[in-house]
Amino acid sequence: MSISSPKATSLLAGRRRQRGYAAASAALLLAALLSGCAGAASADSGALQASGSTTVAPVASDAAEALKARNLNITVATQGGSAGGISQLSAGQIEVALSSKPLSDKDRKAHPDTDFVPTQIGADAVGIIVTKEVADGGVDSLTKEQLKGLFEGKITNWSEVGGPDMKVFVYDKEPGRGTREVLDKYVYGDEEPPPPPQSGNYAVVGGNLETRNKLKSTPGSIAPLSTGFIAGHQELVAVKLDGIAPTPENVASNTYPMTRPLFMITDGEPQGTAKTFIDYILSPEGQKLLPAHGYLTREQMGL
């Protein structure tokens, strides 16, 4: 058994103090990190979530950006289009659903426990978009019956509707998209549309940007798409429907047959940040966001 000298005892005590200080510092650092993470999580969980239509999303995103100056944290997504937003709202995953279609009886029956309150923020037109070579080749206007034949795969060459000798390639919207529902309502009324054609010249697409990119990269293609998304894209043309063009005047008067309202939908009357968000878009400042994306304001629609 050895007995430590006073000097050795003092050195040992010093080392123990150093280890104690290090442990305490590490504990403080860990606590600070955890506190910071908790604060970040709290801030994220407090963000207003809006999701749905890729048509409404650009306006919602611009409004969210403008409201950052008021220290409001609003995130905008586009999972599943209008139907996806409505489903997410019903499931309590978001506070605001973005929709480019009116709520249907089918929507309400599918989500009976949700008190859907739609607020119309403006309107736009679903255009039947073709590539420039198709329009230049003679396709200026299409009838309802011709549209039916094109989207059902019965018309396969543009020469069949007065256009160039060129194969038709159809890009249709996936079910649940507001654009698809507006097209189906115009072509089929209250009837159930038939299943998609089994054709190599037919494909289903999702959002507006995807649709536009597919149209631009595929000769002889056609697709339903918000007319606001082809502004500045000279290689794409919105044809007339039964002789009626999707002009702002025809949309405002509802003369153009595929005019549609744009909505923000809440579960119950808008409250808190959701109300601030929607009220901003309804304000004179917020309404200026709609024409910037090719849409009509509430005032233009006589609302």
Joined tokens for residue 255: 């003369």
What secondary structure, in 3-state letters, does 207-258 show?
CHHHHHHHHHHCCCEEEEEEHHHHCCCCCEEEEEECCECCCHHHHHCCCCCC
Q: Does 162 have pLDDT greater than 70?
A: yes
Work out the percent of the chain whose per-residue pLDDT is above 70.
85
Local confidence band at 13 (pLDDT 50, 70, 90 cut-offs): very low
Local confidence band at 45 (pLDDT 50, 70, 90 cut-offs): very low
Q: Does 25 have pLDDT greater than 90?
A: no
Joined tokens for residue 9: 């005892």
pLDDT in tens, 169-215: 999 998 888 999 999 999 999 899 999 999 899 999 988 999 999 99
Q: Does 30 have pLDDT greater than 90?
A: no
Joined tokens for residue 213: 């990119």
More confident residue, 44 or 269: 269
More confident residue, 1 or 73: 73
Query: In this predicted structure, what is the pLDDT of residue 202?
Result: 96
Residue for token digits 């011709």? 146
Query: In this predicted structure, what is the pLDDT of residue 80?
Result: 85
Q: Distance between CA atoms of 157 and 149, rounded to whole angstroms? A: 11
In the chain, what are the helix, strand and coil shares in percent, each to the nearest 5?
45, 20, 35
Q: Does 7 have pLDDT greater than 90?
A: no
Q: Does 38 have pLDDT greater than 50?
A: no
The number of C-alpha atoms within 13 Å of 298 and in the hemisphere containing its C-beta is 13
pLDDT in tens, 239-290: 999 999 999 999 999 999 999 999 999 999 999 999 999 999 999 999 999 9
Average per-residue pLDDT in the chain?
A: 87
Work out the percent of the chain whose per-residue pLDDT is above 90.
79
Q: Does 5 have pLDDT greater than 60?
A: no
